Amino acid sequence: MTSVFGTARRPAYTVTRTDEQGRPISLDLRAPGGNSVLFTGGPGMGKTLELDRAQQLAQENGWTCVRVKAAPREPLEDRFVRAMNEDLGDLRKRFGHRAARQLKKMLKELIPRNRNRQNGAEVRVSPFVVPAIQFVGKTQWDAGPGGSVGTSINQLADRLGDLAAQKNQPVMLMIDDLDVASDRDLAAVTELSEHLERTGRPIYLIGAGGEMTMSRLMRASGGVSGIATEAARRFDIRECKPLTADELAPAVVEPLRQAGIQYEQEAVTNLVNAAGGSPSRLRDLADSAVQLAQQPDGLTTEVAKTATARVYAQSRVVYQAEWNNCSPAEKDLLAKVSLRGSRGVSMQGEMRKAGEDRWQTVDAARAQLVARGLLRESPNGDRVTVSDPGMRDWVETRIGVSAAQTGIAAAGSQAPVLEQPRGRHAETGKTSPRTVGNTTFTVNR
């Protein structure tokens, strides 16, 4: 693979993202507005890159930073304990041997203390040992949610805060992939956010997740209106939205210029349009185009089109898997949106068509497709479009083939024009009745 455009974690050109007020969203360019920050956005929109930038800021300044990824089947406390055990060497250098030993002891005790303890005795009979009968006492902890994850993580945060306070430094606790976390872990995250705000210490919770992460955090806080609103207020939400064409174009042009590769402006435009606002998708497309480019012409429009077709073809397996993972209602909505092209559909109109019996099903399908990054909502939330133009083309082709095979026209297609035959049975304006049995026909003459 070419290194002209870098990698997802180390791009050759980094776009400076801004919010609606024109302020940069990156933490190395703008300090957090509170103790809790949440980066949200669809797949490939750069959330992990924002955490990388914040972590790099911490490393450059010698701050304490612990970073984990959420998982649906492993508690956050386990992941934090493992990450801190792996960082004990650095913590020892930073805070001394005594502090590291105390922290290690705390980590060792933390997991068993937060699980249900089970005591028992066991009798073992064996002819190969003396005595033949042994009585063994046992202590074990179950694997279920016996304790409070939030309390455990709060204690870890406080201990790190105590150590960092000795040098008057902040602490960063980072959690990536929050959109796949369990409800129990999300409740712990909201509890940690509340704890950090209440204590007022320079300990920062920095999370990243999909577009529905904040909604899940609000539900995990108890679902009560006031409590959920308070949970949302504590987070400084920074959205990694789809980038505009003007923002994406330099991510292609600047690396090409630095590498001395010629390019046509129309070729860049084609790649940017095919990326659908996604910087990671644009990098895949641009990498493919550079591999196909030939000197001295460089990146031409034809090369860009060929590269786009290649990337779309390579993604068919992914598109098929995404389609198979959809419910019937989700497939129906995804098909309708795909057939409308880049304009998409109005969700208000779709829910009106669905009627009282099905509008909730349609809305739930929309929410799931948006959460998985397959659909993208307009700023006012009324219209939805397919996020990936390649996925849109694949679905449109699939629906067209399916319709042709079943003899059913695709939704939104124009009905064929039927012409009356002009043979001897064509309508002439002269008719006469004819009766067969109990049935009377009108026959053209």
Residue 147 C-beta-side C-alpha neighbours within 13 Å: 21
For the chain, the C-alpha Rg in angstroms (whole number) is 30
d(CA 157, CA 178): 18
pLDDT reported for residue 441:
41
Banded model confidence at residue 193, pLDDT cuts 50, 70, 90: very high
Mean pLDDT of 393-412: 62
Judge if 160 and 206 occupy the same domain.
yes
pLDDT at 401 over 70: no
56 found inside a domain: yes
pLDDT reported for residue 399:
81
pLDDT reported for residue 120:
53
Domain that holds residue 367: 328-406
40 found inside a domain: yes
pLDDT reported for residue 148:
56
Mean pLDDT of 197-210: 94
pLDDT reported for residue 150:
61
Banded model confidence at residue 242, pLDDT cuts 50, 70, 90: very high
Boundary-marking domain end, from 192, 214, 239: 239
Banded model confidence at residue 424, pLDDT cuts 50, 70, 90: very low
Query: Looking at per-residue confidence, does 51 or 126 come out higher?
Result: 51
d(CA 79, CA 159): 16
Judge if 383 and 283 occupy the same domain.
no
Judge if 335 and 204 occupy the same domain.
no
Judge if 301 and 359 occupy the same domain.
no
Average pLDDT, the chain: 83
Mean pLDDT of 35-43: 94
pLDDT reported for residue 198:
93
Banded model confidence at residue 383, pLDDT cuts 50, 70, 90: very high
2 found inside a domain: no
298 found inside a domain: yes
Judge if 210 and 340 occupy the same domain.
no
Boundary-marking domain end, from 262, 292, 314: 314
pLDDT at 367 over 50: yes
Banded model confidence at residue 432, pLDDT cuts 50, 70, 90: low
Judge if 96 and 217 occupy the same domain.
yes
58 found inside a domain: yes
Mean pLDDT of 18-31: 95
Coil, helix or strand for 63? Answer: coil
CATH number at residue 278: 1.10.8.60
pLDDT reported for residue 227:
58
pLDDT reported for residue 151:
77
pLDDT at 406 over 70: no
CATH number at residue 65: 3.40.50.300
pLDDT reported for residue 221:
76
Mean pLDDT of 354-370: 92
Q: Does the CA dihedral 72-77-79-80 come out positive or negative? A: positive
CA of residue 200 relative to chain centroid, distance:
31
pLDDT at 8 over 90: no
Judge if 100 and 232 occupy the same domain.
yes
Banded model confidence at residue 111, pLDDT cuts 50, 70, 90: low
Number of domains in the chain: 3
CATH number at residue 364: 1.10.10.10
CB 73 within 8 A of CB 144: no
Q: Does the CA dihedral 53-59-61-66 come out positive or negative? A: positive
CB 84 within 8 A of CB 107: yes
5 found inside a domain: no
Buried b (16+ CB within 10 A) or exposed e, 242-253: bbeeebbbebbb
Span 74-94, pLDDT tens digits: 999 999 999 999 999 998 998
pLDDT reported for residue 15:
92
Peptide bond into 131 cis (omega under 30): yes
Banded model confidence at residue 400, pLDDT cuts 50, 70, 90: confident
398: enclosing H helix or E strand: helix 389-406
CA distances to 28, 100, 327, 341, 396 from 403, rounded to whole Å, are: 52, 66, 19, 18, 10
Judge if 392 and 280 occupy the same domain.
no
CB 363 within 8 A of CB 351: yes
pLDDT reported for residue 411:
44
90 found inside a domain: yes
Banded model confidence at residue 149, pLDDT cuts 50, 70, 90: low
143 found inside a domain: no
pLDDT reported for residue 139:
45
d(CA 351, CA 360): 8
Judge if 192 and 70 occupy the same domain.
yes
CB 259 within 8 A of CB 289: no
Span 288-329, pLDDT tens digits: 999 999 888 999 999 999 999 999 999 999 999 999 999 999
pLDDT reported for residue 76:
92
pLDDT reported for residue 235:
94
pLDDT reported for residue 418:
35
Helix axes 97-113, 76-86, angle to 10 degrees: 160
Judge if 231 and 277 occupy the same domain.
no
Q: Could you tell me if residue 168 is left (phi over 0), alpha (psi between -120 and 50 degrees) or otherwise beta?
A: left
pLDDT reported for residue 233:
86
Q: Are strands 431-436 and 439-444 parallel, antiparallel or unpaired?
A: antiparallel
pLDDT reported for residue 381:
79
d(CA 32, CA 236): 7
Judge if 385 and 302 occupy the same domain.
no
Structure letter (DSSP) for residue 159? H
d(CA 42, CA 377): 11
Judge if 154 and 226 occupy the same domain.
yes
